Amino acid sequence: MTAPRQPLSFGAPAVGPIPTGAPRFPGTRIAGPGPARQQQRLEPQFAALQEALQAGRVDVDGDTTEADPELVVVFDLAAPVAEFARAAARVPGLEFLLEVDGDEFAADDDFHPVRDGEPTDDAVTDSLYVVMSNSQAVVDLLALFARWQENRQAAMPFGLAPLRDVFNLLREVRRWGPQDRVRETGLLERWREDVAVVGQSATMARVEIELWFRRDAARRAAAETAVRALITDAGGQVITQAAITGIGYHAMLADVPSR
């Protein structure tokens, strides 16, 4: 009889490196439209964010009013920007959450690849940078955006120089929406099929709900309490929860009504 094997030891989880946004195609850069065009395109989008944050201060449900509401904001860039995460961390009220590859889009007059000094018609893959933002952070970003419009090489506060590239390559700045989480996954179609099969029967579905991981424990607890209340109000029940700081993971397992 062989001796029992010792269990493998993987050690404690470690935080991965902050994305640096290394170029995907060495020798190729993405040209942006410049300050005047970016002002025309982006100022209405920043204004929409400010309006959404202001609406968060209004008593929405008759119960609570959030003094300093936060939004999950998507910066859709035409190319990766090195040190975006570190620059965002230096803006009070911004908290970097994640970076994901976006979708390919056709080159146009605003954003197009340049190789050896000549524009090309190659498709471009955008990069999505997701941050948590409060209203003051949006105000500060607008002030920096205005500085960049006056002089695209203007000096930025310490650590914020990458924002010059952000402003030049920013295709869209908007609130994170459900479509960002479930697009192209087929999840909505599956839900519709499940509901059609279940009909009006009172069954429960077990689901995993992943929350945005907040580095601050108090903010994690507040988010979990809010989600737990929503589940309970819907007639569901939380089975368990997990928060793993080493890998930036926070989720809840719950049974919720199918109908």
Q: Which residues pair with 254 in a beta bridge?
A: 207, 238
Round to whole Å and give the CA distance between 188 and 204.
18
Q: Which residues pair with 105 in a beta bridge?
A: 124
Per-residue pLDDT tens digits for 127-161 = 889 999 988 999 999 999 999 999 998 899 999 99
Name the H helices within 183-241.
187-198, 217-233
Kindly state the average pLDDT of the residues 152-176: 92
Round to whole Å and give the CA distance between 75 and 129.
5
Q: Are 96 and 124 in contact (CB under 8 A)?
A: no
Q: Which two tokens stand for residue 150?
A: 């006056």
End-to-end CA distance of the chain: 55
Burial, 104: exposed, middle or buried (Cβ in 10 Å; 0-12, 13-18, 19+)? exposed
pLDDT of residue 16 exceeding 60: no
Distances (CA, A) of 21 to 6, 100, 129, 207, 252: 40, 10, 10, 33, 31
Helix H or strand E segment including 252: strand 249-257
Give the per-residue pLDDT at 187.
Answer: 63
Mean pLDDT for all residues in the chain? 81
Per-residue pLDDT tens digits for 196-216 = 776 666 688 888 888 888 888
pLDDT tier for residue 53 given thresholds of 50, 70 and 90: confident
Per-residue pLDDT tens digits for 83-98 = 999 999 999 999 999 8
Per-residue pLDDT tens digits for 30-42 = 999 999 999 999 9
Give the per-residue pLDDT at 206.
Answer: 87
Q: Which two tokens stand for residue 196?
A: 């059609």
Torsional sign, CA 122, 82, 132, 111: negative
Round to whole Å and give the CA distance between 157 and 90.
9
Q: What is the DSSP letter of 213?
A: P
Q: Which residues pair with 207 in a beta bridge?
A: 254
Burial, 176: exposed, middle or buried (Cβ in 10 Å; 0-12, 13-18, 19+)? middle
Helix H or strand E segment including 175: strand 170-175
